Amino acid sequence: MQDTSERILWTRHVSDKTLTLEVDTAIYSLEVLFRVCYAFTDRCYLFLEPATKDTSVVVRITGKKPDLDLDTLAGEFSNALIDERVRRDIATETMSIRELIVAQAFAEADIVDRSFSESSYVEDPKGITI
């Protein structure tokens, strides 16, 4: 396997159609990696395998179309990892305030109409009795 990549240093070209890159799950969690992989399955074939380093995963990317620029794809994949990681961080940071907003919204307006479910059959609010 010859590495012919000169443009993106952290990737390794294994053939004209395939390159690999190593993702450290201590930086980008497995969840982040999975979400990004899922987003790329329409454009390329992806295969994951554990790397020699315990916390890393090797991502093998093969383009679905012959004219696909693998370096561009690898660059976009790498950027997507950062994007998803930041999204996860922000979601964690803002979780309590989001829960508070939702709780407040439901506290002010109870959207469930309980007049039927909590009423007595004797009252017959839906007029079922003939």
Q: Contact residues for another protein (CB under 8 A)?
A: 30-31, 34-35, 37-38, 41, 45-50, 57, 62
Nearest Cα to Cα of residue 28 among 57, 64, 66: 57
Whose Cβ is closer to another protein: residue 7's or residue 64's? 64
In angstroms, the CA 35 to CA 37 distance is 5
Whose Cβ is closer to another protein: residue 37's or residue 74's? 37
In angstroms, the CA 122 to CA 89 distance is 54
Angle separating helix axes 30-40 and 70-93, nearest 10 degrees:
130
Nearest distance, CB of residue 45 and another protein, angstroms: 4
Nearest distance, CB of residue 128 and another protein, angstroms: 39
Nearest distance, CB of residue 33 and another protein, angstroms: 9
Nearest Cα to Cα of residue 61 among 81, 50, 77: 77
Whose Cβ is closer to another protein: residue 46's or residue 80's? 46
Task: Fill in the DSSP letter of residue 13.
Answer: E
Whose Cβ is closer to another protein: residue 8's or residue 44's? 44
Nearest distance, CB of residue 93 and another protein, angstroms: 18
